[in-house]
Chains A and B, each alone.
Chain A
Amino acid sequence: MADGNLATSSRTTGQKTLRHTLQRDFKLNKYKYLIILPVLVYLILFCYKPMYGIIIAFKDYRPALGIEASKWAGWKHFKNFFNDIYFGRLIKNTFSISGLSILFGFPAPILLALFLNEIRVNWFKRSIQTITYMPYFISMVVVCSLVRTYVQHDGLISQIAVAFGGKAQNFLMSSKYFYPIYIISDIWKNIGWNSIIYLAALSSIDQQQYEAARIDGAGRFKQMVHITLPGILPTIVMLFILRMGSILSVGHEKILLLYNEGIYDVADVISTYTYRKGILNAAYSYSTAVGLFNSMVNIAFLLLSNFISKKTTELSLF
Chain B
Amino acid sequence: MSKKMLSFLLIMVISFTVFTGCGKSTGGTADNTANKKPAKEEKKGSEKFAGYPMDKKDTEITWWVGTGYTPNEAYASADESPFHKNLQDMVGVKINWQFPTAGTDSNQAFNLMLNSDTLPDIIFHSIMADIERYMEEGIVRDLSDDLEKNSPAYYSFITSNEMYDKHMKTDSGKYYGYGFFREDGGWNDTYLGPLVRQDWLDEQNLEAPKTISDWDNVLKTFKKEYNAVFCAPWDRMKPSLISGAFGAYGLADYTLFVDKNNKVQLAQAQPEWKTYMEKLHEWWEAGLIDQDITTNDDDAVRTKVLNGLTGLAYSSMGQLSNWTTDAEKAGNGAKWVGLQYPTGDDGTLSMVRGGYGIGSTVAVITTSCPDEKLETAMRVLDYAYTDEGNLFWNFGKQGESWDYDDKEEPAYLDLVTKDPDGLNNAISKYGGSTWSGSCIQATKLLYLKNEPAAIEANDTWFYPNEDVTAKWTLPNGVTRTTEESNTLDELVSSIQTYVSETAVKYMTGEESPDTYDKFVKKLDDMGLPTVLKTNQAAYDRFLAR
State whether these chains interact: yes
A residues lining the B interface (CB < 8 Å): 39, 43, 46-47, 50, 53, 60, 62-65, 80, 84-86, 148, 152-153, 168-170, 172-173, 175, 196-197, 200-201, 203-204, 235, 238-239, 242, 245-246, 260-262, 264-265, 268, 273, 276-277, 279-284
User: Within the complex, which residue of A43, A60, A201, A261 is in contact with B504, where a contact is CB–CB below 8 Å?
Assistant: A261
Q: State the CA gap A148–B493 with chains docked (Å).
A: 26
> Is B508 touching A262 in the complex (CB atoms < 8 A)?
yes
> Is A197 touching B9 in the complex (CB atoms < 8 A)?
yes
User: Within the complex, which residue of A39, A204, A264, A282 is in contact with B111, where a contact is CB–CB below 8 Å?
Assistant: A282
Given A86-B497, A277-B493, A201 and B137 contact (CB-CB distance below 8 Å): no
- The residues of A that contact B15 with a CB separation of less than 8 Å are 39
Judge if B114 is at the interface, Cβ distance under 8 Å.
yes
User: Within the complex, which residue of A53, A168, A169 is in contact with B25, where a contact is CB–CB below 8 Å?
Assistant: A53
Given A64-B138, A242-B17, A261-B503, A284 and B111 contact (CB-CB distance below 8 Å): yes
User: Within the complex, which residue of B3, B14, B295 is in contact with A260, where a contact is CB–CB below 8 Å?
Assistant: B295
Judge if B496 is at the interface, Cβ distance under 8 Å.
yes
> Is A173 touching B508 in the complex (CB atoms < 8 A)?
yes
Q: State the CA gap A86–B510 with chains docked (Å).
A: 19
Judge if B500 is at the interface, Cβ distance under 8 Å.
yes
- The residues of A that contact B498 with a CB separation of less than 8 Å are 85
Judge if B294 is at the interface, Cβ distance under 8 Å.
yes
Min C-beta distance of B541 to chain A, whole Å: 22
> Is A283 touching B500 in the complex (CB atoms < 8 A)?
no
Min C-beta distance of B96 to chain A, whole Å: 21
> Is B291 touching A169 in the complex (CB atoms < 8 A)?
yes
In the complex, per-residue mask of B138-167: 1 if CB is within 8 Å of any chain A CB, else 0: 110000000000000000000000000000
Q: Residue on B with the closest CB to A53? A: B25
Within 8 A of A (CB), among B18-48: 18, 21-23, 25-26
Given A46-B25, A63-B114, A280-B107, A242 and B526 contact (CB-CB distance below 8 Å): no
Min C-beta distance of A185 to chain B, whole Å: 15
> Is A64 touching B137 in the complex (CB atoms < 8 A)?
yes
Q: State the CA gap A315–B326 with chains docked (Å).
A: 63
Min C-beta distance of A63 to chain B, whole Å: 4
> Is A239 touching B13 in the complex (CB atoms < 8 A)?
yes
> Is B107 touching A276 in the complex (CB atoms < 8 A)?
no
Q: Residue on B with the closest CB to A274? A: B493
> Is B234 touching A260 in the complex (CB atoms < 8 A)?
yes
User: Within the complex, which residue of B26, B108, B291 is in contact with A50, where a contact is CB–CB below 8 Å?
Assistant: B26
Min C-beta distance of B326 to chain A, whole Å: 19
Judge if B115 is at the interface, Cβ distance under 8 Å.
yes
Q: State the CA gap A209–B508 with chains docked (Å).
A: 61
> Is B10 touching A280 in the complex (CB atoms < 8 A)?
no
Given A173-B508, A200-B9, A204-B5, A261 and B500 contact (CB-CB distance below 8 Å): yes
User: Within the complex, which residue of A47, A175, A276 is in contact with B18, where a contact is CB–CB below 8 Å?
Assistant: A47
Given pairs A86-B497, A173-B291, A273-B497, 18 additional interface contacts (CB within 8 A)? A39-B15, A46-B26, A62-B137, A63-B115, A64-B114, A64-B134, A85-B498, A152-B295, A170-B291, A173-B295, A197-B13, A203-B1, A204-B3, A245-B17, A261-B294, A261-B504, A280-B107, A284-B111
Q: Count B interface residues, CB 8 Å.
A: 52
Q: Residue on A with the closest CB to B510? A: A262
Within 8 A of A (CB), among B484-499: 486, 489-490, 492-494, 496-498
Judge if B374 is at the interface, Cβ distance under 8 Å.
no
B residues lining the A interface (CB < 8 Å): 1-3, 5-6, 9-10, 13-15, 17-18, 21-23, 25-26, 105, 107-108, 111, 114-115, 134, 137-139, 234, 238, 252, 291-292, 294-295, 300, 486, 489-490, 492-494, 496-498, 500-501, 503-505, 508, 510, 526
**29 A-B contact pairs sorted by A residue (CB < 8 Å):** A43-B22, A47-B21, A47-B22, A50-B22, A50-B26, A64-B114, A64-B134, A65-B137, A85-B494, A86-B494, A148-B300, A152-B300, A169-B291, A170-B291, A172-B295, A173-B294, A203-B1, A242-B14, A260-B234, A261-B294, A262-B501, A277-B493, A279-B107, A280-B108, A281-B493, A282-B107, A282-B111, A282-B489, A284-B111
> Is B291 touching A235 in the complex (CB atoms < 8 A)?
no
Given A262-B294, A280-B108, A204 and B6 contact (CB-CB distance below 8 Å): yes
Interface centre among B14, B107, B300, B501 (most CB of A within 10 A): B501
Q: State the CA gap A318–B91 with chains docked (Å).
A: 63
Min C-beta distance of B503 to chain A, whole Å: 7
Q: Residue on B with the closest CB to A239? A: B13
- The residues of B that contact A261 with a CB separation of less than 8 Å are 238, 252, 294, 500-501, 503-504
User: Within the complex, which residue of B25, B134, B496 is in contact with A276, where a contact is CB–CB below 8 Å?
Assistant: B496
> Is A279 touching B108 in the complex (CB atoms < 8 A)?
yes
Given A239-B13, A262-B505, A46 and B22 contact (CB-CB distance below 8 Å): yes
Q: State the CA gap A201–B8 with chains docked (Å).
A: 11
- The residues of A that contact B114 with a CB separation of less than 8 Å are 63-64
- The residues of A that contact B108 with a CB separation of less than 8 Å are 279-280
Q: State the CA gap A235–B1 with chains docked (Å).
A: 15
Q: State the CA gap A86–B500 with chains docked (Å).
A: 14
- The residues of B that contact A43 with a CB separation of less than 8 Å are 18, 22
- The residues of A that contact B505 with a CB separation of less than 8 Å are 262
Interface centre among B493, B494, B503, B508 (most CB of A within 10 A): B493
Q: Residue on B with the closest CB to A279? A: B108
Given A46-B26, A173-B294, A64 and B107 contact (CB-CB distance below 8 Å): no
Q: State the CA gap A168–B22 with chains docked (Å).
A: 44
Q: Residue on B with the closest CB to A168? A: B291
Q: State the CA gap A113–B461 with chains docked (Å).
A: 61
Q: State the CA gap A265–B500 with chains docked (Å).
A: 11
Q: State the CA gap A98–B86 with chains docked (Å).
A: 52
10 smallest beta-carbon distances between A and B, as pairs: A64-B137, A262-B504, A277-B493, A63-B114, A47-B22, A261-B500, A153-B291, A260-B294, A50-B25, A203-B1
Q: State the CA gap A170–B492 with chains docked (Å).
A: 30
Min C-beta distance of B304 to chain A, whole Å: 9
Min C-beta distance of B511 to chain A, whole Å: 10
Q: State the CA gap A203–B107 with chains docked (Å).
A: 49
> Is B5 touching A173 in the complex (CB atoms < 8 A)?
no
> Is A280 touching B105 in the complex (CB atoms < 8 A)?
yes
- The residues of B that contact A148 with a CB separation of less than 8 Å are 295, 300
User: Within the complex, which residue of B10, B105, B139 is in contact with A235, where a contact is CB–CB below 8 Å?
Assistant: B10
- The residues of A that contact B291 with a CB separation of less than 8 Å are 153, 168-170, 173
- The residues of A that contact B22 with a CB separation of less than 8 Å are 43, 46-47, 50
- The residues of B that contact A63 with a CB separation of less than 8 Å are 111, 114-115, 137, 139
- The residues of A that contact B10 with a CB separation of less than 8 Å are 197, 235, 238
- The residues of B that contact A64 with a CB separation of less than 8 Å are 114, 134, 137-139
Min C-beta distance of B508 to chain A, whole Å: 6
Q: State the CA gap A201–B292 with chains docked (Å).
A: 45
